[in-house]
Structure 1
Amino acid sequence: MANHLSAQKRVRQEERRTEFNRKNKTRLRHSIRAMRKALTSKDASAANELLGTTFSMIDRSARSGIIKRNTAARYKSRIHAKVKALAAK
């Protein structure tokens, strides 16, 4: 247990930040999971509909430090390639 006032404040801040990060990372995973589900079911219209919201969620997560920038770029690249391939069929 922290004894100094500044250490106690740091513990409180970390708890709030951890809760924020956990909630947003879960939201990101659910968004990506829904996108992958649309891609595996070969539903092009649903995939196109989810594309913007999923990309937005990925970008926001990268900006706030939930995931790294290169990880976000990799997710977006792979998802976009699969959507394009699905649209081409």
Structure 2
Amino acid sequence: MANTAQARKRARQATKQNAHNSALRSKFRTAIKAVRKAIDAGDKAAAAEILKASGKTLDIIADKKIVHKNKAARHKSRLAAAIKAMA
């Protein structure tokens, strides 16, 4: 347990920041799932449009250092490749 006022405040801040970061990580995963769902549905145009919107979300979250920028880039690249491979 935190013994000083400073430590208690840092514990409060850490809890609040953890909740915020968790929400952003969830948003990151949801954006990826939305593109995957469009790819599985077989609609190439819709999948490309969703990727465009989701790519922006992935970049924003990476800029905030919630996930590493290379991880966001890797996901975007793989999703784009999956869309390109669609018949």
The alignment's TM-score, normalised by the length of structure 1, stands at 0.89
User: Which residue does the alignment assign to 1:71?
Assistant: 71
* Paired AA for residue 8 in structure 1: R
Query: Is residue 2:67 matched to residue 1:82?
Result: no
User: 1:28 matched to which residue of 2?
Assistant: 28
Q: Residue 62 of structure 2 corresponds to which residue in structure 1?
A: 62
- Aligned pairs, number: 87
**How large is the Cα RMSD of the aligned pairs?**
1.1
Spell out structure 1 runs of 4+ moving beyond 4 A.
none
Deviations 1:21-67 (A, max 9, x none): 11111111111101101111211122022011110111011111111
State the TM-score, normalizing by the size of structure 2: 0.91
Q: In 1, distance between residues paired with 2:19 and 2:46?
A: 31
Instruction: Flag structure 2 segments of 5+ consecutive residues without an equivalent.
Output: none
Equivalent pairs: percent with the same residue? 38
SS in 2 for 1:71: helix
